[in-house]
Amino acid sequence: MAETGAKAGAEAGAEGSAKTGAKTGVKTGAVTPRERYRAQVRTEVKEYAWKQIAEAGASALSLNAIAKQMGVSGPALYRYFAGRDELITELIRDAYRSLADAVHAAAGTGADPAGLAHVLRDWALADPHRYFLIYGTPVPGYHAPEEITGISQEIMADLLTAWTALEPDAPATPFGAHLADHRDWAGDHPAPPGVLHRALTFWTRLHGVLSLELAGHFTGMAFDPAQLFEAELADLTARRG
């Protein structure tokens, strides 16, 4: 009884879904104090989780340790999360969501690819561990649920739109043609082959520079990583077709 109760609680509390059971994500207004409290505690747990990840890495994440920091007994957290795995999944989802929101907000104000690139870099520098949780060494045995690949596609969509606006006639390339034949990842975005190629390359190149910078591989090298980032960006946005 206590067991099933805890489980049901942990699952239902995901987004503070109110009585109505609406999965729309709309705030129904009919949020009970208990639900507010649950959401608050869940948030607090995640905050401590991020601190812990920052200090000892994602694999050292421990519910017991978080409980200790919160001044609460270990088993108490099982009311809020079904277990360690659920917590990690949610952290990853939150990280993706945060990045997608940041990118989308910038895209909404008409940012061009260079603008989005800076949003990405700022987001990554603000919390390198969050970046690595998404784009770093895969957590062994972990597989992203579908929801997350969906968020990933949202980000891609914004990149594609920004590139379409900047360079709608990006020259077609052999690899662009290949991408056009395998465009599942682009959803139903109407970007032409040349733009598909640009957007994908945009992503991989920025990731290359960013991940090496964040991992500290440039620290012994004395040069300024920001300037390398700008140089790559300049190369990407320079029309040369």
Partner DNA sequence: TGTACATCAGTGAACGCGCGTTCACTGATGTAC
50 binds a copy of itself, rule: CB under 8 A: no
Contacting residue, 71, 110, 140, 190, with a copy of itself by CB under 8 A = 140
**And the tokens for 81?**
């999360």
How many of the other CB atoms lie within 10 Å of CB of 98? 16
Contacting residue, 25, 110, 141, 190, with a copy of itself by CB under 8 A = 141
63 binds a copy of itself, rule: CB under 8 A: no
Residue 21's binding partner out of a copy of itself, DNA, none, with CB under 5 to 8 Å set by partner kind: none
How would DSSP label each residue in 115-177? HHHHHHHHHHHH-HHHHHHHHSSPPTT----HHHHHHHHHHHHHHHHHHHHH-TTPPP-HHHH
Q: What's the rounded Cα separation, in Å, for the pair 103 and 120?
A: 7
Closest approach of a copy of itself to the CB of residue 134, in Å? 9
57 binds a copy of itself, rule: CB under 8 A: yes
**And the tokens for 87?**
């917590």
Q: What's the rounded Cα separation, in Å, for the pair 171 and 194?
A: 5
Residue 137's binding partner out of DNA, a copy of itself, none, with CB under 5 to 8 Å set by partner kind: a copy of itself
By CB under 8 A, what part of segment 172-201 binds a copy of itself? 173-175, 178-179, 182-185, 197, 200-201
Residue pointed to by tokens 């991992």: 215
Q: What's the rounded Cα separation, in Å, for the pair 63 and 81?
A: 9
114 binds a copy of itself, rule: CB under 8 A: no
Q: Summarize as ranges the residues that interact with a copy of itself (CB under 8 A).
A: 55-60, 132, 135-141, 149, 152, 173-175, 178-179, 182-185, 197, 200-201, 203-209, 211-212, 215-217, 220-224, 227-228, 230-232, 235, 240
